């Protein structure tokens, strides 16, 4: 079996560290995450902590070969679960503290979730399907 290309390893580490860092920030300062929480959801603080925990867990799991695929699918589920916050931000023009209040910044968040999802799937060798001949 071939070693993963260096680029894939670098991207995997970057994505993992991103999720771990953002996950930790859910506990250190949950306020920004509470700000973007859709009002229709219950238990805002608890959901912020739960999502932070799973971001940390997924980020760590993506780095470990034995848990990489499961962690990737978990992170995909997490990205889907938090997508309503991005929709809420866009529809209601909710800006994070210190964020320039320009609507295009809210729009750009929408496809970035898909870019992140593609990166997670790529670095976990889920998508595109690996060629069995290599």
Tell me the domain boundaries of the chain: 6-81+114-123
The pLDDT tens digits of the residues spanning 62-71 come to: 999 999 999 9
**Tens of pLDDT along 23-76?**
999 999 999 999 999 999 999 999 999 999 999 999 999 999 999 999 999 999
With a cut of 90, say whether residue 9 has pLDDT above it. yes
Return d(Cα 70, Cα 79) in angstroms, integer.
14
pLDDT of 3: 59
pLDDT of the residue at 5: 72
- pLDDT (0 to 100) of residue 89: 97
Helix and strand numbers (H, E) in the chain are 5, 0
Q: Cβ atoms within 10 A of the Cβ of 13, count?
A: 14
Task: Please provide residue 59's backbone torsions phi and psi, each rounded to the nearest 5 degrees.
Answer: -60, -45
d(CA 20, CA 125): 20
């Amino acid at each position: 079996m071939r070693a993963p290309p260096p680029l894939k390893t670098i991207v995997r580490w970057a994505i993992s560290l991103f999720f771990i860092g953002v996950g930790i920030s859910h506990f250190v300062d949950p306020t920004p995450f509470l700000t973007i929480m859709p009002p229709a959801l219950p238990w805002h603080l608890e959901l912020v902590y739960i999502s932070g925990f799973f971001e940390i867990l997924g980020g760590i799991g993506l780095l470990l070969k034995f848990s990489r695929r499961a962690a990737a699918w978990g992170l995909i589920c997490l990205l889907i679960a938090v997508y309503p916050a991005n929709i809420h931000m866009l529809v209601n023009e909710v800006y994070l503290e210190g964020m320039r209040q320009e609507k295009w910044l809210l729009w750009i968040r929408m496809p970035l979730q898909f870019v992140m999802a593609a990166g997670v799937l790529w670095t976990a060798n889920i998508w595109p399907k690996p060629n069995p001949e290599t």
